[in-house]
Amino acid sequence: MGAPARPLAPQGADSAAAERKLIHLGVAAAVTGMLCWITGVVLIPPTAKLEEGDAHLAEVLRAHTAQLCAAATLAVLGAVLLATFFCVLSCLVDRGWPGWAWLRVSLAACVITQTMVAVGASFGLAGVYAAAGDASPAVIAVGQRGLWLTFLASALPTIMFTVAAVLGLRQARLSPPWVSALGWLSAAAHLLAMFALAQRGALAPDGIIATFTPLTTVIWILALAAALPRSWQAATSASAASAPATQGTPDAYTANPYS
């Protein structure tokens, strides 16, 4: 039985150029997606808090309908682009090679997470739409609670896709240690955010901790996107250099140049 296709080592100039374009696409998707998320968070009025009461929340949503709709739309767009980035990452390592399995697990968990983000944004849009239509404050508040609690529930699959990505990218030699460290920090922050279930204050679902915990993911993703082209080039060069001595065996690519 023949050896599987080599990872990170294109078989010609055309293949190398195609893979380079794929990486550029992934980087663009990651950066654009994270900018969408940051913009969406900035658009959320700081006074839109559940702890202020349903009537106050309804007034705030009614007064900021347009920007809240934009925030929800940007959240969904960011989710789609982040999933696209993880699709690109999973395409960079061939089946059966170091990191392949972890990156597939990461992609699946990422899709689950971003689906939950889209569901949460839909709850938020429902609350804003209800506020614009002068619905009962209690009904409006249900939409907002659905928004924040869905985001809170997405912390678990976020931890899964972060940990799996860190492990897979390190095995595939596509993540330097400092980027991996940011991934571990993000996973730890989301573990803390899972318990943000207080009715008010910093540990409320819409409190400062749960609101800004995703910022750790943003920092990690931007760092990963910035380092990816160079990491891919280094891994490709290492694979090509070791090919004559290893005759295309998978074990030849398990050594990590960042170690």
Domain boundaries, the chain: 13-235
Query: Model confidence over 102-148: pLDDT tens digits?
Result: 999 999 999 999 999 999 999 999 999 999 888 999 998 888 888 88
Residue 16 pLDDT class (50, 70, 90 cuts) = low
pTM, two decimal places? 0.81
For residue 248, what pLDDT is reported?
45
Reported confidence tier of residue 235, pLDDT bands at 50, 70, 90: confident
If one compares 238 and 91, the residue with the highest pLDDT of the two is 91
> Among all chains, which residue has been given the structure tokens 């990422």?
110
Across all residues in the chain, what is the average pLDDT?
A: 83
pLDDT: which is higher, 231 or 218: 218
